[in-house]
Amino acid sequence: MIRQFTSAEFMFLLMAVRWTLLLSAIAFVGGALGGVLVALARTAPYAWLRATAGTYIQIFQGTPLLMQLFLVFFGANLFGAAVDPLTAAAIGLTLNGAAFLGEIWRGCIQAIPKGQWEASTALGLHYVTRMKEIILPQAAKIAVAPTVGFLVLLVKSTSLASIIGFVELTRAGQIVNNATFRPFLVFGIVAAIYFVLCWPLSLYSRHLEKKFGTVSR
């Protein structure tokens, strides 16, 4: 029996937004933590470490995110570790985010002029101090805008978690559509909600780009 699309259905969609946001937040925090490690590894003084991180990035940038989610979800279950869809999606998006953020931040670290490395080295500062006090604070300024840009991408990527059965915004849309059979209306609303989430982030990213765009000398 086909239901009407009422405010109850709309509220169902709105309530699913929190799962989209939660998944985005977990994946962003996890991806950021992993991304720092990947970026540091990519710029490390050891060739084997750079190569390892490079391979990691190539694998995650060279395969579809959906396959990565499948592999985590079904792979974990195959090895007897029953993971729920949220955990699987969070792990998959974290691994993927770490690769992309790591590569973005590698570029930001390498954009810092060679003279800054040399001056801090010549002063006798150790790697950790050099990174913490000199390189990363300057790299962070350049990184802010593209990082927020990536966050927009990440919010939209969480829609793929619907396919492994995690009820976030897109999956909620599918459920409502199955009951009401008003695909254009339902997915139009779903898309509009994504836009409302992402648009301010895009604006913010552009604002940050202008604010930090001029590199201080």
Partner 1 sequence: MTSPSTAPGATGAVMIRMEKVEKWYGTYHALQDINLTVTSGERIVICGPSGSGKSTLIRCINALEHHQGGRIEVDGTEVGASSKGLDKVRAEVGMVFQSFNLFPHLTVLQNCTLAPRKVRGIAPKEAEAIAMKYLERVRIPEQANKYPGQLSGGQQQRVAIARALCMTPKVMLFDEPTSALDPEMVKEVLDTMISLAQDGMTMICVTHEMGFARQVADRVIFMDKGEIVEQGPPETFFANPTNERTRTFLGQILHH
Nearer to partner 1 by C-beta: 3 or 126?
Answer: 126
Is 44 in contact with 50 (CB distance < 8 Å)?
Answer: yes
Q: Rounded distance, CA 155 to CA 14, Å?
A: 15
Distances (CA, A) of 102 to 28, 90, 121, 208: 12, 17, 24, 20
Kindly state the DSSP code that residue 3 receives in the 8-state scheme.
Answer: P
Least separation in angstroms between residue 128's CB and partner 1 is 10
Kindly state the DSSP code that residue 82 receives in the 8-state scheme.
Answer: -
Maximum distance among all Cα pairs of the chain, rounded to whole angstroms = 76
Q: Rounded distance, CA 93 to CA 71, Å?
A: 12
Least separation in angstroms between residue 114's CB and partner 1 is 9
For the chain, the residue count is 217
Nearer to partner 1 by C-beta: 135 or 164?
Answer: 135
Nearer to partner 1 by C-beta: 88 or 135?
Answer: 135
DSSP-based three-state secondary structure for 65: helix
Least separation in angstroms between residue 215's CB and partner 1 is 8
Nearer to partner 1 by C-beta: 134 or 186?
Answer: 134
Least separation in angstroms between residue 144's CB and partner 1 is 14
Binding residues for partner 1, per CB under 8 A?
Answer: 113, 115-116, 118-126, 129, 133-134, 137-138, 141, 216-217
Please report, to the nearest 10 degrees, the dihedral formed by the alpha carbons of residues 18, 4, 181, 157 taken in order. Answer: -10
Angle of helix 183-213 relative to helix 169-180, nearest 10 degrees, comes to 160
Least separation in angstroms between residue 76's CB and partner 1 is 42
* Phi, psi (degrees; rounded to nearest 5) at 154: -65, -45
Least separation in angstroms between residue 115's CB and partner 1 is 4
Nearer to partner 1 by C-beta: 62 or 124?
Answer: 124
Nearer to partner 1 by C-beta: 80 or 124?
Answer: 124
